[in-house]
Amino acid sequence: MHQPEDYENSFDPDAYFEQYFGKNSIEDGTRVSLFCLPVFAQIIKQSVPKEKRSSLLDIGAGPTVYSAVCFRDVIERAYMTDFVEKNLVSLKDWTNGISAHDWQPTINVILRTEGITGSSENMNEKAEKRTQELVHAGGVLFSNVHRSPCVPDLKEQVVDIMVSVFCLESACKDLDEYGKCVKNMMSHLRPGGKFIIGSVIDDNVYNAGNQRMFWLLRLTESDVISALEAAGLDVENRKAYVLEDEGVMFAMLTKL
Ligand SMILES: C[S@@+](CC[C@H](N)C(=O)[O-])C[C@H]1O[C@@H](n2cnc3c(N)ncnc32)[C@H](O)[C@@H]1O
């Protein structure tokens, strides 16, 4: 099994994309993130004034762009970050319109979740183009959750919205490390800003594509919530979806 320190050498963006976002896996499977993120995006759009929701930072995005797609009508710029150089190349290629990854099936699901049924090719393409512009306005940057700051080249000190899905449990070996990494991340979020976390619950391994298995830190919902509370997030008023059958939780919290 591959370990957190193996990401740079062993993570394959193409295999990961195919496993979770390729046309067949998208049409067959349930990607809980594609249901939760549009819901959170809509809540933020309705409850936060426009000038206070300009920037989004995704930490550990891998080769994926769905978080920015979900927030395309909420924000003005998106920073997509990851630890692995090949993932950054993949993100940059997509931003520049030369990606080998077809995001249209995923965008279809997102539009469907948003209630846009029977979306035309034109609408899907518009959504993708708008998202590419958002990432152009922000950037594709290196991040390491074990360092503070996690994103050394971030142009602005703090952002309005931070997203991190399935990253911390991949990167950490124990709860102590996990807690420190959450705190490192939080230094990039402004007080009053929103943090959205997606986490695998109660599992210790995942398939990153082509049966390449990677370590996960086994977490309970309460492990995640305790770490978020210690890092200064308002856990009392969180909005959370815990899907025990899927083994995942998604939560949105405000930084105090
Ligand atoms: C399971 S993937 C999740 C990718 C994406 N967020 C998603 O929802 O599909 C885990 C990601 O965490 C990244 N990662 C691993 N260690 C990291 C670290 N120390 N700092 C930042 N990201 C890291 C990996 O490169 C990988 O892209």
| Per-block mean pLDDT, blocks of 10 residues, the chain (256 long) | 96 97 83 93 98 98 98 98 98 96 94 83 93 98 97 95 98 98 98 98 96 97 98 98 92 98
User: Of all residues in the chain, what percent carry a pLDDT higher than 90?
Assistant: 91
> How close is the Cα of 117 to the center of ligand 1, in Å?
31
pLDDT of 244 reads 87
Checking ipTM against 0.90, whether it exceeds it is yes
Phi/psi region, residue 202 (left: phi>0; alpha: psi -120 to 50; beta: rest), is left
Which of 10, 79, 83, 145 has most ligand 1 atoms within 8 Å of CB, for mutation?
A: 83
pLDDT at 155: 87
Q: Which of 66, 61, 79, 90 is nearest to 135 (CA)?
A: 79
Residue-level pLDDT at 120: 80
Per-residue pLDDT tens over the stretch 141-168 = 999 999 999 999 998 999 999 999 999 9
Tokens of 83: 């630890």
Mutate to test the pocket of ligand 1, among 11, 170, 180, 246 (most ligand atoms within 8 A of CB): 170
The ligand 1 site (C-beta within 6 Å) comprises 4, 7, 11, 33, 60-62, 64, 82-84, 87, 143-146, 165-167, 170-171
Cα–ligand 1 centroid distance for 121 (angstroms) = 30
Cα 216 to ligand 1 centroid, rounded to whole Å: 11
Query: What is the overall mean pLDDT for the chain?
Result: 96
Q: Are strands 77-82 and 139-142 parallel, antiparallel or unpaired?
A: parallel
Closest by Cα among 153, 148, 177 to 3: 177
Residue having the nearest C-alpha atom to atom 4 of ligand 1: 62
Which structure tokens are listed for 138?
Answer: 């922000």
pTM of the full structure: 0.97
User: Which atom of ligand 1 is the closest one to the Cα of 214?
Assistant: 1
